A and B are shown apart, each in its own frame.
Chain A
């Protein structure tokens, strides 16, 4: 009688352990908390394990749309120092029945983001062996950033070229006007050496310093 009672008490955990250890439907999980969080790393203990089991139960609930999954459906074994272990998921109807691998994989893949965030980790630091991480979608830009930079540079260069060409054209036009203007003043004002007298302020002729009145040195 006592033996029977004892067997009844100890059977479920033993069976549970067997289910977990020997099954083909289990997944190995590996957490790299210190790598992922550095100084903010938390200690891995029973409570963290509890959180893990509950997140997995949540994932199973979401995937199967059944609200019957509880933490007891998630069995864990092979706990190591690395912080890695194996888990299996038992069916809600029959505790001896395991949910097949593919179902669990789908559930995990759909909710990996939520599982990662619960532990403040990423796909690199919270690994499910055998479930490849879904790669994030490549960012699609409306305009590629490099085209924007190119547009800015080309715009500045084009403005510069146009400005330089305009300045050349206006310089030429001014030179032409000056030449035309000078040739007009030819008739009216007496020109000497190409400068109009008006620019000398109406002086009487040009003072020619070659013939100075200083005759100190020119006594013959």
Chain B
């Protein structure tokens, strides 16, 4: 009973539900809400589901099963798990989790900023602020839209160029500090507190999505949006870009190769059916993406319809005022007939009015993904809905909980390997260590609160969260299947789930998934290399403002991009070489024989079960 003999027990989940909710929360993140609907829309609606489901079945589920099984059987975080194959696979995962956690929480800080402002009446992004001498509205706002102005100027205070760093925006620092504090309070004791927090953060988004679904379907124009989203365009299936995007979307959506899933399943009891867990997590993730796209697109359809209506109404007003016609004589229905009549009687005057060309399709085509969807398009839609504050608050809380549960996975992907490597000094309590991690992350993430922060975030998003993950996943699957774990792996699974993995899994692991991953990786690299690295900059002095100015990255910035992509994965061959060298030197000193006393059958954990 005395604590000196027994090492501290590995923490474990209170119950299966916590574990499943945590994995689902990690997989279901912001991308399910703001990336999948966009892809669905631009790649021919219902037709996109075909490459998506194929990628899920042949690439996503096998890799997910692999990670969950590995973590559960070896009961270590990513570094420990890959120790026998290539320890640096784990370190690469850890580095990537760290880097992604940095910028992901900055997005949550932005969500918090919008959340704090959603309690105002009127919503601050609905009106332009008045300029200093009270003669009119701020010019930048008048040129673009109030929503854009609020995002680019009042939130980000963005500089026109990535080279101009600007200063730290104090309000963003404050929001970032609150975001990290909220993350800390949930993460303070590792999975003990995470397991309780996910009861809320993983389930709340579903509640809000349902509320939005009910509200959105009653809005005018919702059916236009849904029809636009789901109308399949089968011809697009010929385009290889669609398949590439489907494969990458599934891969990033399931949060594979971060090490977080391995960490979570390592806290499971040995006898746990991870095959069923895989199916549950994978299918719920995809179902959530589909479920989220319905209210999102209904609301976007509503926004397109209201934009179309205001376009027509402004034309009607121009006509009524120019021709002094009675007020409600021209309506939306007879607009066309009035226009033709006026064109025949007085074409010069009509053309002098410069009437806007209004077409519903154009408004529906204005889609966006990522931060553009959440902070520009959706906020604009929310203004038009009656009771905007309520919808804005709900929406931003939903985004925050989606992102928070994904942050848990990122941080666990960092914490668990460090704990397993015993890098934490014995005297340091876990609370202090997690606090240190949060504080250090906060300090580094201050980069993203500079004036040019958004540009840097885009760089991190595109370069860290893409190619390195694909490389790691590829090495993972090759390592497990063809490495030394190969034959024991099926036995391990049999002991955990009670049955050997069936033919489908084995075929996928040995053949289909690695080939698919390799093709996706190569295609992704080829596409990236062909594109000249540019970024859209918000420059009020640009002549075509409010369009973004497309600027190329300067050489030092591009060097950083390349570094971000390659350094995490460079560690894998570097340590392989290092081990080779060490093995050489050990052979020379003659101690290459394995230690006969190193009997791994008697680990400290099995000691407890006597």
Footprint of B on A, CB under 8 Å?
Answer: 30, 32-35, 80-84, 132, 134-135, 137-138, 145-147, 149-150, 153-154, 157-158, 160-161, 164-165, 168, 172, 179, 194
Stretch from B91-99, B128-136, B142-150, B420-428 contacting the other chain: B128-136
Residues from chain A with a CB closer than 8 A to the CB of B328 are 34-35
Residues 171-186 (chain B) with a chain A CB within 8 angstroms: 174-175, 178, 181-182, 184-185
- The smallest beta-carbon distance between A62 and chain B, in angstroms, is 22
For B115, list chain A residues within 8 Å (CB). Answer: 149
A-B complex: 3 closest residue pairs judged by Cβ atoms: A146-B116, A80-B324, A82-B324
Given A33-B327, A34-B328, A83-B327; A158-B119 close (CB under 8 Å): no
Contact B326 A81 (CB under 8 A): yes
B431 touches A153 (CB 8 A): no
CB nearest to A162 among chain B residues: B185
Give the nearest-CB partner of B182 in chain A. A157
Q: A165-B431, A168-B431 are in contact. List 9 more A-B contacts (CB 8 A).
A: A82-B320, A82-B327, A132-B136, A137-B130, A146-B117, A150-B174, A164-B431, A172-B429, A179-B2
A194 & B185 in contact (Cβ 8 Å cutoff): no
Give the docked Cα–Cα distance between A28 and B24 (Å).
64
| Contact among B178, B193, B429 for A157, CB-based, below 8 A | B178
User: Is A145's CB under 8 angstroms from B120's CB?
Assistant: yes
Roughly how many angstroms separate A152 CA and B328 CA in the complex, as a whole number? 49
Assess whether A154 is in contact with B326, with CB atoms less than 8 Å apart: no
| Chain B residues, Cβ within 8 Å of A83 | 326-327
Given contacts A82-B325, A154-B181, A157-B181, contact A164 B188 (CB under 8 A): yes
Q: Is B314 among interface residues, defined by CB-CB distance under 8 A? A: no
Q: Is the CB of B429 within 8 A of A168?
A: yes
Q: Is B189 an interface position by the 8 A CB rule?
A: yes
CB of A164 within 8 A of CB of B182, answer no
**B1 CB-CB contact with A under 8 Å:** yes
Q: With A135-B134, A146-B120, A168-B431 in contact, do A32 and B327 touch (Cβ < 8 Å)?
A: yes
Q: Which residues of B contact A168 (CB under 8 A)?
A: 189, 429, 431
Contacts of B326 in A (CB 8 A): 81-83
Q: Answer whether A161 and B327 are a contact pair too, CB < 8 Å, given A135-B130, A145-B120, A150-B116.
A: no
**Taking CB as reference atom, which chain A residue is nearest B328?**
A34
Contact of B321 with A by CB under 8 A: yes
A138:B327 contact, CB within 8 angstroms: no
Q: Mark B533-545, 1 if CB is under 8 A from A, else 0.
A: 0000000000000
- Partner of B130 from the list A32, A138, A149, A150 (CB cut-off 8 Å) is A138
Q: CB within 8 A of B324: which of A35, A84, A132, A138?
A: A84
Asked whether A146 lies within 8 Å of B119 as measured between CB atoms, the reply is yes
B327 engages A164 (CB within 8 Å) = no
B448 CB → nearest A CB, Å? 19
Q: Are A158 and B320 in contact (CB under 8 A)?
A: no
Smallest CB gap from B323: residue in A: A82
Closest to B178 in A: A154
Q: List 15 A-B contacts (CB under 8 A).
A: A33-B327, A34-B328, A81-B324, A81-B325, A145-B119, A149-B119, A154-B181, A157-B181, A157-B182, A164-B188, A164-B431, A168-B431, A172-B429, A179-B3, A194-B1
B129/A138 in contact, CB under 8 A: yes
B324 A161 Cβ-Cβ under 8 A: no
Q: How far, in whole Å, are A35 and B321 apart by their CA atoms in the complex?
A: 13
Residue from the list A33, A137, A147, A160 in contact with B134, Cβ < 8 A: A137
Chain B residues near A150: list those with CB within 8 A: 116, 174-175, 178
Residue pair A149, B185 in contact (C-beta under 8 Å):
no
Look across to chain B and name the residue whose beta carbon is closest to the beta carbon of A153.
Answer: B178
In the bound complex, residues from chain B placing their C-beta under 8 Å from that of A35 are: 327-328
* Complex Cα spacing A61 to B130, Å: 31
User: B185 touching A160 by the CB < 8 A rule?
Assistant: yes
Please measure, in the bound complex, the distance between the C-alpha atom of A39 and the C-alpha atom of B290, giving whole angstroms. Answer: 42
What residues on B are CB-neighbors of A154 within 8 Å?
A: 178, 181
Residue of A whose beta carbon sits closest to that of B137: A135
Check A164/B134 contact, CB under 8 A, given A30-B321, A145-B120, A149-B119: no
Task: Indicate if the CB atoms of A149 and B116 lie closer than 8 Å.
Answer: yes
Find the A residue at minimum CB distance from B186.
Answer: A160
Complex partner residue of B188 from A33, A132, A161, A179, CB under 8 angstroms? A161
Closest B-chain residue to A36, C-beta based? B327
Closest to B181 in A: A157
Residues of B within 8 A of A138 (CB): 129-130
Q: Are A157 and B185 in contact (CB under 8 A)?
A: yes
CB distance from A200 to the nearest CB of B (A): 16
Report the Cα distance A177→B134, complex, angstroms: 69
- Cβ proximity bits B425-461 to A, threshold 8 Å, 1 near / 0 not: 0000101000000000000000000000000000000
How far, in angstroms, from A160 to B327 measured CA to CA in the complex? 60
Q: Determine the chain A residues whose CB is within 8 A of the CB of B189 once the complex forms.
A: 164, 168
Alpha-carbon distance between A178 and B135 when the two chains are bound, in angstroms: 74
What residue in chain B is nearest A33 (Cβ atoms)? Answer: B327
On whether the beta carbons of B185 and A164 are closer than 8 Å, the reply is yes
How far does the Cβ of A36 sit from chain B's closest Cβ, in whole Å?
A: 10
Cβ-defined contact, A34 with B129, below 8 A:
no
Q: What is the minimal beta-carbon distance from B458 to any residue of chain A, in angstroms?
A: 26
A164 touches B193 (CB 8 A): yes
Residues 496-519 of B, flagged 1 when their CB comes within 8 A of A and 0 if not, give: 000000000000000000000000
- Residues 181-229 (chain B) with a chain A CB within 8 angstroms: 181-182, 184-185, 188-189, 193
- CA of A160 to CA of B2 in the docked complex: distance in angstroms? 31
* CB of A151, distance to nearest CB on chain B (Å): 10
Which of B116, B117, B181, B321 contacts A161 (CB under 8 A)?
B181
By a CB distance below 8 angstroms, the chain B residues around A149 are: 115-116, 119
Of the candidates B116, B137, B174, B320, the one having the most CB atoms from chain A within 10 angstroms of its own CB is B116
Q: Which residues of B contact A165 (CB under 8 A)?
A: 188, 431
Shortest Cβ distance from B362 into chain A, in angstroms?
26
Give chain A nearest CB distance to B300 CB in angstroms.
27
Complex-state Cα separation, A153 to B185, whole angstroms: 12
- Considering the complex, give the chain B residue whose CB is closest to the CB of A193: B1
- Closest-by-CB residue of B relative to A139 is B120
Q: How far apart sit A86 and B175, CA to CA, in the bound complex (Å)?
A: 54
- CA separation between A148 and B116, bound complex, in Å? 8
Nearest-neighbour CB distance to chain A for B501, whole angstroms, equals: 41
Pairwise interchain contact A161-B185, C-beta atoms closer than 8 A: yes
Bound CA–CA A132/B134 (angstroms) = 12
CB distance from B543 to the nearest CB of A (A): 27
Could you tell me the distance between the alpha carbons of A158 and B178 in the complex, rounded to whole angstroms? 10
CB neighbours of B112 from chain A (8 A): 153
Shortest distance between the CB of B131 and any CB in chain A (Å): 9
Q: Which residues of A contact B181 (CB under 8 A)?
A: 154, 157-158, 161
A161 surroundings in chain B (CB, below 8 A) = 181, 184-185, 188
A98 CB to closest chain B CB, in angstroms?
24
Question: In whole Å, how far is A211's beta carbon from the nearest beta carbon of chain B?
Answer: 20
- Distance between B11 CB and nearest chain A CB, rounded to angstroms: 14
Complex CA–CA separation, A80 to B181 (angstroms): 64
How many Å lie between the Cα of A127 and that of B185 in the bound state?
56
Q: A-facing mask of B324-368, CB < 8 A → 1, else 0?
A: 111110000000000000000000000000000000000000000
User: Which chain B residues lie closer than 8 Å to A179 at the CB level?
Assistant: 2-3
What distance in Å separates the Cβ of A168 from its nearest Cβ neighbour in chain B?
6
